[in-house]
Structure 1
Amino acid sequence: MSLSKPAVKRKVGDEHRQFQEKWGVQYFFVEHRGTPTCLIYTEKVAVHKEYNLKRNCTTRHAEEYEKYQGDERANQVASLKTRLLRQQDLFKKATKDSNAAVKASYAVCELIDPVLSDPKWLMDLAFLVDITHDLNVLNKKLQGQGQLVSAAYDNVRAFCTKLVLWKAQLSQTNLCHFPACKALVDAGTPFSGEKYAEAISKLQEEFDHRFADFKTHKATFQIFADPFSFDVQDAPPELQMELIDLQCNSALKAKFREVSGEADKLGQFLRELTPSFPELSRRFKRTMCLFGSTYLCEKLFSTLNFNKSKYRSRLTDEHLQALLRVSTASSLKPNVTM
């Protein structure tokens, strides 16, 4: 009894199949890096076999590209080849740029490595991180719509008080409010409290210079914030008599407590004081006219840039003025009776 030999399995690589140039025009394929690639969908076919290319063409784009014949079909294939080459060039450029960026980052690391190893520089950076964080918190408090100048004064005064505390704590190497510095100290980095206490002193001087007007109007802001608890003896002489009458008015005092903490209602209350408080009313209105922040100015310029664009070149100055007035006056309410 004879046994038949098992069939030897063919390998695709042993068949030495090659891409035929005619397949490009027939099936919209091109050989790219040794692999047949569809010019339309950039799909790849693993085997150089006409049946596979034809099946891909028939199932994917035969109906759409069947209308191209002869020279028109050849031109279409050439156009698709050019597009494919451009895409590959773009990928090569992106890879080249990426490699250049990596090399540049290594070069920068070599340059800054001595700096990052300097404990004094690291501590300076940590202190800058901590103090900048606190300044950003203050900056956000001073922004926003409907910000009264008295509220801004309270926030600045609170920050100046914090500076006094931080200066004393830094002199004693107390870093409870400086987490970045504390992390370095815990890791063994030396810390000079007097050096950073001096930096806080310079920051105090800068705040005193920049907000000098606040100190000039300190009494006015305090009366505006709470006229019922302000010491009459510290008030200007022209306000003392009216202030006593106001503090002894139980009805107004109760109404003030109700609106306290709400900027809109508080402003409405102070604007509508009875005629028996003319000097206080004048002083309150003057205080409310002060801008607590540059929010309205920034909003106005943003609105101006949005409306006065190249697509709306026919806007006149009158139109633009009306647009700005309506868009920035968010508190306007239509006076319509039904």
Structure 2
Amino acid sequence: MWRFVRKRCEMEEGDSRPGPSTESTDQASDDEAAVHCENKDSKKVRLYNESYLSLGFTWIGDPTCPVPWCIVCGKKLANAAMVPAKLKRHFTTHHSHLTSKTTAYFKRLLQSQSKQSQAFVKKVTVSEKAQEASYLVAELLAQKRKSHTIAENVIMPACKIIVSKMLGEDAAREIEKVPLSDSTISRRIDDMSRDAEEVLSSQLKTSSFAMQVDESTDITSKCHIMSFVRFVNDGEIQENFFCCKELPETSKGQDIFNILTSYLEEKGLSWTNCVGICTDGAPSMVGSMRGFASLVRKENLSVVTTHCFLHREVLVSKSLGEEMKKVLDDVTKMVNFIKQRPLHSRMFKKLCEDMDKEHVNLLLHTEIRWLSRGRVLNRVFELKSELQEYFQQISNAHFSGCFEDGEWLQKLAYLADIFQHLNHLNKSLQGPRENILTSSDKILGFQRKLSLWKNHVANGNLKMFPLLSGLESEEGYHQVSNLIEKHLEDLQNKMEHYFPSLSTQQYDWVRDPFSEECAHPVNFSLREEEEFCELRCDRTLKLRFTELPLDKFWISIKEEYPEIHTKAVNILLQFSTSYMCEQAFSCLTCIKSKARNRLLSVEDEMRVCISKVRPRIDALCKNKQAQVSH
């Protein structure tokens, strides 16, 4: 029995009878049957011959091991069937009605199917491109904080107009295939948000992180918790948006703690990975018993809590004294008198334009905007002559008399100067690489400048206050030097009150581990002291320290000195301000505006807008079935 089967196989492989009825086909089949190549299993692989087209067969797959494919029915046979006898058997059995057709017929049929296949591939390719374009447009809308309906109502018509004029109507019809409906854009933003969230969660699982947290309300009076994290990734310290959660009822410390804890657990994280928390000074955040920071410390005793430096600096700037506050109140009343009345605003603007002034409008002072007071005072001082003339024209003797009072003008100039210095300090405390060490140095430097300015004012030197020193030459002897000296002393006392423990000398070893002054750092374990001694004696690392930024240097020694690396990085991760949360609340105001007050996917919009993790659009497109717009 087995000998019969083996003999039958040998006959089919080597001695197959010719299939087609033409002599050329017979000769080619005999020659082709002998053509084979050896693969790794030492099996014969049959190759395709052009004469097989007369039997309605072409080939597909790997050229080294082709597979016969029937042009008529689309059936694929095994490579072993690449012999005329087997191909003819299939042809006569299933397509006997085509036995009279010539080779030219099958060539035309093959060309027709090739064109259809190319058209199908083009259709699928257009669909995939349209889907990717839909994601990119959705990402752009989220970053620009625009409504989802703009894509369908504005972007699509504009694209069609531009493309039809520049590339023709055919290209415009292709543009129409991009799905940009309101619901589609919403789904795209949700997909990208989840993808970015997944990437960030995976990064945080491998690193410690510090967090800044703040809460505020939106236009519908709903309370939102905003959070950002700072962590180590790709050999550097990075900052990123973490979450924006709505508080359904109260905004107590326990509520904030519960929501963030649930979110951390959902993402496979815990408070044990958190090394620092920066918040504002609200009781719900820093309360000693039930404040958010206190509740976190119960979960992780080593976490460091920081009161935002910016909030403390603003509290310092509010100490003015009665006489200085009266000047600020007068300025606020003047600005409100003009800005709140459209007629006065237009008339004052026309007056400034006629006098060729660079600025023609006043600025409003807002308590929640930290830098507004300095800008308001500077603008009023810049336009003091125009304001005096305008108030004289409308017969407002009280306001016009203020600008005729030399002492009042000197106080105004001093306030504009000192708030300019405070604004400069405020801006310097904001930035992606700002941490406790750099912020503490800047606050200490400002405290020493206050002491220096006080001494110079006592000696009659006012060069550090340029606007005030410019008035001194006009008015003669400065009449408010004692008042200024007292205000500078008050500022210095307030600085010491709100920044009681700014000494960071114990962290000097982080700034420069190779300095002789840092040879014996405090609060080190034995293992940390041993690693620190080895590090100080490593001359290669000493050269690297001069070439790399501080954070990258400490991250680069993780493998050699893990203990000292962890201690240093945990210090550098600490936030000193919550400025990123404040920026995010400004973004939230734009996203959830009066026209979009029913928006539900606030967090997804925020994440796509401000997250530094770009969504993996290629991967998202592969997981979705591409569909063109109808």
Normalised-by-shorter TM-score class: 0.5 to 0.7
Aligned counterparts of 2:409 and 2:554: Cα–Cα separation in 1: 52
Alpha-carbon displacement from aligned partner over 1:193-241 (angstroms, at most 9, x marks no partner): 34322211111112222222423x4422x33322222623662141654
Residue 145 (str. 1) matches residue 427 (str. 2): no
Paired residue type of 2:541: L
Aligned counterparts of 1:124 and 1:163: Cα–Cα separation in 2: 17
Paired residue type of 1:250: R
Aligned counterparts of 1:225 and 1:249: Cα–Cα separation in 2: 17
Aligned counterparts of 1:251 and 1:332: Cα–Cα separation in 2: 36
Equivalent residue, structure 1, for 2:581: 297
Alpha-carbon displacement from aligned partner over 1:91-137 (angstroms, at most 9, x marks no partner): xxx98996799998444641123333333222222211221111111
Partner SS state of residue 475, structure 2? coil
Equivalent residue, structure 1, for 2:568: 284
**How far has the Cα of 1:295 moved from its partner?**
2.8
Q: 1:315 to 1:229 in 2, by over 3 A?
A: same
Q: Can you give the 5+ residue segments of structure 1 that lack an aligned partner in the other structure? A: 1-93, 261-265
Residue 211 (str. 1) matches residue 211 (str. 2): no
**How far has the Cα of 1:172 moved from its partner?**
0.6
Aligned counterparts of 1:137 and 1:203: Cα–Cα separation in 2: 16
Q: 1:234 to 1:180 in 2, by over 3 A?
A: farther
Q: 1:219 to 1:294 in 2, by over 3 A?
A: same
Residue 161 (str. 1) matches residue 448 (str. 2): yes
Equivalent residue, structure 2, for 1:268: 552
Alpha-carbon displacement from aligned partner over 1:27-76 (angstroms, at most 9, x marks no partner): xxxxxxxxxxxxxxxxxxxxxxxxxxxxxxxxxxxxxxxxxxxxxxxxxx
Partner SS state of residue 231, structure 1? helix
**How far has the Cα of 1:183 moved from its partner?**
1.7
Paired residue type of 1:251: T
The 5-angstrom pairing of residues 186-225 of structure 1 reads 186-191=473-478, 192-215=480-503, 217-220=504-507, 222-225=508-511
Residue 111 (str. 1) matches residue 403 (str. 2): no
Equivalent residue, structure 1, for 2:210: none
Ranked by relative contact order (alpha carbons within 8 Å, sequence separation 6 or more), the top structure is 2
Q: 1:312 to 1:146 in 2, by over 3 A?
A: farther
CA contact (8 A) 2:406 2:475 kept: no
Equivalent residue, structure 2, for 1:4: none
Alpha-carbon displacement from aligned partner over 1:161-182 (angstroms, at most 9, x marks no partner): 2212211111111122122222
**How far has the Cα of 1:148 moved from its partner?**
2.7
Q: 1:270 to 1:324 in 2, by over 3 A?
A: farther
Aligned counterparts of 2:564 and 2:617: Cα–Cα separation in 1: 30
Partner SS state of residue 502, structure 2? helix
Partner SS state of residue 254, structure 1? helix
The alignment's C-alpha RMSD in Å is 3.7
Q: 1:323 to 1:188 in 2, by over 3 A?
A: closer
Paired residue type of 1:293: T
Paired residue type of 1:225: R
Paired residue type of 2:515: S
Equivalent residue, structure 1, for 2:548: 259
CA contact (8 A) 1:223 1:230 kept: no
Aligned counterparts of 1:97 and 1:321: Cα–Cα separation in 2: 39
**Residue number among 244, 248, 260 corresponding to 2:537 in the alignment:** 248
**Residue number among 590, 606, 612 corresponding to 1:330 in the alignment:** 612
Aligned counterparts of 1:136 and 1:301: Cα–Cα separation in 2: 20
CA contact (8 A) 1:119 1:189 kept: no
Paired residue type of 1:173: G
CA contact (8 A) 2:462 2:468 kept: yes
TM-score for both structures, normalised by structure 2: 0.33
Aligned counterparts of 2:571 and 2:554: Cα–Cα separation in 1: 10
Q: 1:231 to 1:179 in 2, by over 3 A?
A: same
Paired residue type of 1:189: G
CA contact (8 A) 1:304 1:324 kept: yes
Q: 1:98 to 1:329 in 2, by over 3 A?
A: closer
Q: 1:257 to 1:323 in 2, by over 3 A?
A: farther
Structure with greater helix percent: 1
Paired residue type of 1:211: F
Aligned counterparts of 2:446 and 2:497: Cα–Cα separation in 1: 14
**How far has the Cα of 1:248 moved from its partner?**
1.9
Paired residue type of 2:572: M
**How far has the Cα of 1:290 moved from its partner?**
1.5
Equivalent residue, structure 2, for 1:133: 420
CA contact (8 A) 1:172 1:193 kept: no
Q: 1:226 to 1:119 in 2, by over 3 A?
A: same
Aligned counterparts of 1:183 and 1:237: Cα–Cα separation in 2: 52
Structure with greater strand percent: 2
Aligned counterparts of 1:325 and 1:267: Cα–Cα separation in 2: 26
Q: 1:175 to 1:284 in 2, by over 3 A?
A: same
**Residue number among 164, 167, 181 corresponding to 2:468 in the alignment:** 181
How many aligned residue pairs are there? 234
Q: 1:171 to 1:257 in 2, by over 3 A?
A: same
**How far has the Cα of 1:257 moved from its partner?**
0.9
Q: 1:190 to 1:312 in 2, by over 3 A?
A: closer
Paired residue type of 1:141: S
Q: 1:315 to 1:281 in 2, by over 3 A?
A: same
Equivalent residue, structure 1, for 2:97: none
CA contact (8 A) 2:435 2:576 kept: yes
Partner SS state of residue 214, structure 1? coil
TM-score for both structures, normalised by structure 1: 0.57
**How far has the Cα of 1:284 moved from its partner?**
1.9
CA contact (8 A) 2:509 2:518 kept: no
Aligned counterparts of 1:219 and 1:284: Cα–Cα separation in 2: 12
Paired residue type of 1:134: H
Q: 1:287 to 1:115 in 2, by over 3 A?
A: same
